[in-house]
Amino acid sequence: MAKNPTKRPETLGGYIVHGIPFPVDTDPEALAFLKRMAPIQIEQEYAITYLHSYAQDSPWFAGLTQKRLLANQAPDSGYTYANPRGHDMYSGAETVWIDITERPAAVHAFTVCHFGSEEFLAEMPFVLALIEFKDVDTLLLTRLLGVDPLAASIDWIDMPVQPKFLRNSKLKPTDVYFVPKE
């Protein structure tokens, strides 16, 4: 039978602390000071492994891995969504997947981003654009590359563009981006 240890073994790690006020005397009057003590704050890195499911949007991401841009279409009305959408917003009917990779596309609107998340820091400034496709009823928000963000121009509106895909998929919406049509 194993004995219960009387002392926990020391491990490496923890914090080296300085200047944390604590009374030398531990009688109740001295310990009353602790009620007025400021909170101790520490800063530490925190990592977690997160299992994420794309659920009904999985075919959209699978398409990106194959250099294909998929959209959803309502079978009864033909209303077409550039972003993954499992059900039509008007009828509630389940949508079907269609391939819009080769459809004519153009810049509908854009903005130049001078600030962004950590993923885009190396690309700043960068251009976000709403892309419109022939016979698609909604727009796709994506990055626009191949233009100079510091020379933004109203001439970019209606500019024909084409999709490009990352060679090695990250299974993220950023696996697709657009460039001026060649």
How many structural domains compose the chain? 1
Whether 154 is in a domain gets the answer: yes
The rounded distance, in Å, linking the Cα atoms of 170 and 19 is: 46
In a domain, 26, yes or no: no
Q: Is position 149 within any domain?
A: yes
List the domain range (segments joined by +) for residue 171: 55-180
Q: CA nearest 160: which of 143, 179, 145, 177?
A: 179
Q: With respect to residue 20, please indicate whether it lies within any of the assigned structural domains.
A: no
What three-state secondary structure class fits 56? helix
Q: Is residue 33 part of a domain?
A: no
- Whether the upstream peptide bond of residue 125 has omega within 30° of 0, thus cis, is yes
How many CA atoms does the CB half-sphere of 118 hold within 13 Å? 0
Phi and psi torsions of 136, nearest 5° = -120, 135
Per-residue pLDDT of the chain (182 residues; tens, 9 = 90+): 566 666 777 777 777 777 787 777 788 887 888 888 888 888 888 899 989 899 999 999 999 999 999 999 999 999 999 999 999 999 999 999 999 999 999 999 999 999 888 878 888 999 999 999 999 999 999 999 999 999 999 999 999 999 999 999 999 999 999 999 98
